[in-house]
Amino acid sequence: MDDFQVDVLVVGAGNAAACAALAARETGASVAMLEAAPEEERGGNSTYTAGAMRVVFHGVEDLVQLYDLTEDEKRDVDFGKYTADEYLDDMGRVTNYRCDPELTDILIGRSFETLKWMRTKGVRFQPSYGRQAFKVNGKYKFWGGLAVEAWGGGPGLVDLEHKAAVKAGIPIHYQTAAVSLIEEDGVVRGVIARHKGRKVRIGAKAVVLACGGFESNAEMRTRYLGPTWDLAKVRGTRFNTGAGINMALAIGAKAHGNWSGGHAVGWDMNAPEFGDLEVGDNFQKHSYPLGIMVNANGVRFVDEGADFRNYTYAKYGAVILSQPQQFAWQIFDSKVLDRLRDEYRIKRMTKVRADTIEELAKKLEGVNEEQFLKTIKEWNAAVMTEVPFNPAVKDGRSTRGLAVPKSNWANTIDEPPFEAYAVTCGLTFTFGGLKITNQGEVESTDGPPIPGLFAAGELVGGLFYHNYPGGTGLVSGAVLGKLAGDGAGRYVKDRN
Ligand SMILES: Cc1cc2nc3c(=O)[nH]c(=O)nc-3n(C[C@H](O)[C@H](O)[C@H](O)COP(=O)(O)OP(=O)(O)OC[C@H]3O[C@@H](n4cnc5c(N)ncnc54)[C@H](O)[C@@H]3O)c2cc1C
């Protein structure tokens, strides 16, 4: 690979990068993308997702602008709606009202139009029946504000985005990792990249950084998230090592957002160090609202039913990491086994099964057996069985008198067979990053934007604090990607 020059250089090749590249190309700029990974691992975390996308919609009439529905589906399925106000409430509530108001407004206000724009580029969407709908009285009902997912999940999304990029004349340079920014007289003029061990100089009139957070960098994780985060598994790509953030900070970019926070979930205890595309996100184990979780001491430690899993899963990884030896077992009995999500039916799992609770206790590796049996006894006595169980709504079927209550979906654990799944913490992405303007420009520590530098996706800080509403990563990547790509394209036009 030789040195080259382009109008807009996009660093990264995930969802945010692809949207940035396509938007920049629409302005008439020449565009290229750099991907640190080889082609078979392209697309960063976006490829690892199941493709859930949180978007404002007011009913079927909006959804049919995103995907095709049969007349039967339009009539018989309760898709509900998800208004801008509900989105704002969710963002506010889960981030303790810390989310950046301007960025949040952009995310919410442009979510639907951005997905419609993606569809014009060839991206396809579908209803998320598998994970976001329960059948109640023979009828599908969607819950938790999520009714849209990318067709083919993350791999389908990235595949169609890359096809759209190639069609638009945007080359994607694989195994080419940006190492530093070229800055002359305070203006960004390109990047130095590494391609198969060789340094390459790529000149650009504008650079969009869309190369992920620092989740795959154990040193930065420990430095910013804190002790034991070096021990967490990484759910997705091994390539998001914080390079984009570091190269921007090195030329005076402003840090923003929740640098000590990240999105982390319950993840198979024996999953590999980084994600595995053959398994995708199926190492996650997200049916804990239907059961209980116990730690090595044999005790419960969190309200498994505090809210729909969409609003708790992203913070419970950290809770599991803080348990003794960083693991927990999820426990279910036969009453709920057929409701467990599809990730509970894969081959590579740390799972045990037993016909009695005593036998189960013996099989829970690393758990205090005696205390576990006591926990189950107290649990069964505490469940408010008089309240009907309904997994499609927050049913208020709670517990009485426990030190750690469960607020919804409490069921006794007394009907064999019993199943248990061991989980540890799987880090998805980090929340801290760069500060951007409402045009996607990277702000400097002294105030004004750094000329020629734009950013999108995970490495933008300020949207998420403490927690995250499921399906927002892809949509924020798309919205901010389009914003930054458009901003970069217009910046180049203005300077020509
Ligand atoms: C298992 C899993 C499941 C998820 N499920 C969902 C979901 O269903 N819905 C949802 O909304 N979100 C989900 N997320 C979160 C979502 O993946 C991210 O929020 C989103 O994909 C981030 O997009 P991005 O483009 O910013 O980053 P990425 O998609 O990670 O892209 C970053 C890109 O930069 C490249 N790169 C890194 N460093 C360099 C460098 N120095 N030079 C060049 N390239 C570089 C990477 O290789 C990659 O191509 C999930 C994440 C994981 C890991």
In a domain, 237, yes or no: no
The label of the residue with tokens 């799944």 reads 421
In a domain, 430, yes or no: no
Report CA(428)–ligand 1 centroid distance (Å). 9
Do 187 and 317 lie in one domain? The reply is: no
CA-nearest residue for atom 26, ligand 1, is: 457
Per-residue pLDDT tens digits for 333-372: 999 999 999 999 999 999 999 999 999 999 999 999 999 9
Cite the beta strand spans of 146-224 per DSSP E. 148-150, 172-173, 176-184, 187-195, 198-209
Q: Output the pLDDT for position 42.
A: 98
DSSP 8-state secondary structure symbol assigned to residue 152: T
Report CA(149)–ligand 1 centroid distance (Å). 16
Alpha carbon distances (Å) from 326 to 223, 295, 344: 19, 8, 21
In a domain, 286, yes or no: yes
Contact predicate 107/479, CB 8 Å: yes
- CATH, residue 71: 3.50.50.60
In a domain, 10, yes or no: yes
Do 202 and 331 lie in one domain? The reply is: no
Report CA(250)–ligand 1 centroid distance (Å). 23
Helix (H) or strand (E) holding 450: strand 449-455
Atom of ligand 1 nearest to the CA of 247: 41
Our mutation pick for probing the ligand 1 site, out of 11, 45, 146, 234, counting the most ligand atoms within 8 A of Cβ, is 45
Do 53 and 176 lie in one domain? The reply is: yes
Q: If you compute the radius of gyration of the chain from its CA atoms, what whole number of angstroms results? A: 23
Do 110 and 174 lie in one domain? The reply is: yes
In a domain, 169, yes or no: yes
Tokens of 375: 């926990």
Do 378 and 452 lie in one domain? The reply is: no
- CATH, residue 376: 3.90.700.10
In a domain, 382, yes or no: yes
* Burial (CB count within 10 angstroms: exposed 0-12, middle 13-18, buried 19+), residue 433: buried
Alpha carbon distances (Å) from 130 to 52, 143, 341, 369: 11, 12, 8, 35
Question: Structure pTM?
Answer: 0.92
Report CA(415)–ligand 1 centroid distance (Å). 41
Tokens of 148: 């849209």
Determine the residue type at 391. P
Do 349 and 479 lie in one domain? The reply is: no
**3-state secondary structure (DSSP) of residue 412:** coil
Q: Which of 393, 425, 457 delimits the end of a domain?
A: 425
Do 379 and 332 lie in one domain? The reply is: yes
Distance between CA atoms of residues 18 and 14, nearest Å: 6
Distance between CA atoms of residues 125 and 296, nearest Å: 42
Contact predicate 302/315, CB 8 Å: no
In a domain, 379, yes or no: yes
Atom of ligand 1 nearest to the CA of 475: 11
Q: What total number of domains does the chain contain? A: 2
Do 366 and 461 lie in one domain? The reply is: no
Helices 153-167, 15-26: crossing angle, 10 deg rounding? 20
Report CA(27)–ligand 1 centroid distance (Å). 25
**DSSP-derived secondary structure for 273-300:** SS--TTTGGGGB---GGGSEEE-TTS--
Distance between CA atoms of residues 52 and 58, nearest Å: 18
Query: 412 — alpha (psi -120 to 50), left (phi > 0) or beta?
Result: beta
Any idea how long the chain is? 496
Q: Output the pLDDT for position 300.
A: 98
Do 16 and 127 lie in one domain? The reply is: yes
Do 193 and 281 lie in one domain? The reply is: no
Our mutation pick for probing the ligand 1 site, out of 474, 475, 479, 482, counting the most ligand atoms within 8 A of Cβ, is 474
Give the residue ranges of the chain where pLDDT is below 70. 131-132
CA-nearest residue for atom 5, ligand 1, is: 49
Give the domain range for residue 10: 4-214+435-494
Contact predicate 24/222, CB 8 Å: no
Do 458 and 387 lie in one domain? The reply is: no
Alpha carbon distances (Å) from 152 to 22, 159, 275: 20, 9, 18
Q: Output the pLDDT for position 77.
A: 85
Do 307 and 445 lie in one domain? The reply is: no
In a domain, 290, yes or no: yes
The label of the residue with tokens 């009995």 reads 333
